[in-house]
Amino acid sequence: MNRSAVTDHDPWLLTPGPLTTSLTVKQAMLHDYGSRDARFIEINRRVRERLVGIVSGQGSHECVPLQGSGTFVVEAMLINFVPRDGKLLILVNGAYGQRMQKICEYHALAFETLVFAENEPVDPDALAERLAADESISHVAVVHCETTTGILNPLKAVADVTESHGRALLVDSMSAFGALPVDSREIRFDALVASSNKCLEGVPGMGFCLAERGALEATRGNSDSLCLDLFEQWRGLEGNGQWRFTPPTHCILAFDRALDEFEAEGGVAGRGGRYRDNCRVLVDGMRALGFETLLPDELQAPIIVTFLMPSDPDFEFQAFYDGLSERGYVIYPGKLTVAETFRMGCIGRLDASHMRGALDAVKAVLGR
């Protein structure tokens, strides 16, 4: 077991994922179900139905799960929903927008980018201008919370502009889904993707796509990948209740349990509320210790916080990281071009007491 030197538990993961999960979620995996087991098929049905419920998409939207990490389902979304004669406009203000660009390059999908600074949200007015100027853009892709910085993008405004210009919206809500509300009746999207292991607090291993049914039906034949063909994955599940290829059975059992715990916590409002508390405790505490956040509070999503590297020449990130790790807290290096930074996450099965513990550890390491 990966015990830290001075604690008796697995490290608390203050990272963008994988994340800390509850004991009960881990225990839910202590079963071996065959993929044709009626109980397993029922669990799949229940998980998919509950995910659709989170966006209030009952009757209008479908859930297609997919094996792999989050990026697998981002790639699947782009190659299924953007037809070969379409063109995607990617709103970029961080690494996950850039990754969508790379996906388009791999698949030779026609795309353009609208690039913003990493410490600024994407701008719906600039989007409106670009859409008005270019009739050939069929789809717009946006990252809900850009995990690179933790910045919250204005999803509703982006969706409204996209809809009013008659284009389709594709959303990477990976790090926000389950903690920040998305109502499919108010925010029009063709497809939105997220994964089992971020704010829904399951274990890593699968992503899912929530899609408007008509838009999903229209994707038939678009995919240039067998494994990532969401239309065929959906048809398989609708046909016999089974995944096309070996399902991540243990991951789905854990996810079903994680969704029980999500609902017990009060769904998006409860989960988001705990993360907002975590974020407030973390940011207030770090500021009290002299750290500065990259983002002003009004741009900060309660998901992951980017701190500027202190200018003190005695501060050495590796020693800081190692000291926290020894005390049972894992943080994350920054990934920015605008500034030297590090990140601390607020998501996963952590509460304000873990944040206070992390602050105590920061204080102790700085003292040393």
Ligand X SMILES: *Cc1c(COP(=O)(O)O)cnc(C)c1O
Cα–Cα distance list, 157 to 90, 139, 153, 209 (Å): 15, 15, 9, 21
Alpha helices by DSSP H, listed for 289-334, are 317-326
Per rule CB under 6 A, count of chain residues that contact ligand X: 13
Residue 199 within binding range of ligand X, rule CB under 6 A: no
Residue 195 within binding range of ligand X, rule CB under 6 A: yes
Between 70 and 323, name the residue whose CB sits nearer to ligand X: 70
Residue 172 within binding range of ligand X, rule CB under 6 A: yes
Considering only 63, 143, 151, 330, the residue that binds ligand X (CB under 6 A) is 143
Between 123 and 172, name the residue whose CB sits nearer to ligand X: 172
Binding part of the chain for ligand X, among 24-32, 63-71, 257-265, 322-330 by CB under 6 A, reads 63-71
Residue 248 within binding range of ligand X, rule CB under 6 A: no
Residue 315 neighbours by CB distance under 10 Å: 11
Residue 69 within binding range of ligand X, rule CB under 6 A: yes
Nearest Cα neighbor of 198 from 172, 171, 173, 175 is 175
Residues 92-131, interacting with ligand X (CB under 6 A): 96
Residue 202 within binding range of ligand X, rule CB under 6 A: no
Kind plus residue range of the DSSP H or E element containing 76: helix 70-81
Q: How far is the CB of 136 from ligand X (least distance, A)?
A: 26
Between 175 and 223, name the residue whose CB sits nearer to ligand X: 175
Which amino acid is located at 253 in the chain? Answer: L
Residue 306 within binding range of ligand X, rule CB under 6 A: no
- How many angstroms separate the CA atoms of 188 and 180, rounded? 16
Peptide bond into 302 cis (omega under 30): no
Residue 56 within binding range of ligand X, rule CB under 6 A: no
- Quote the longest CA-to-CA distance of the chain: 62
- How many angstroms separate the CA atoms of 161 and 83, rounded? 21
Residue 353 structure tokens: 């007491």
Between 4 and 69, name the residue whose CB sits nearer to ligand X: 69
Point out which residues bind ligand X (CB under 6 A): 16-17, 69-71, 74, 96, 143, 147, 172, 174-175, 195
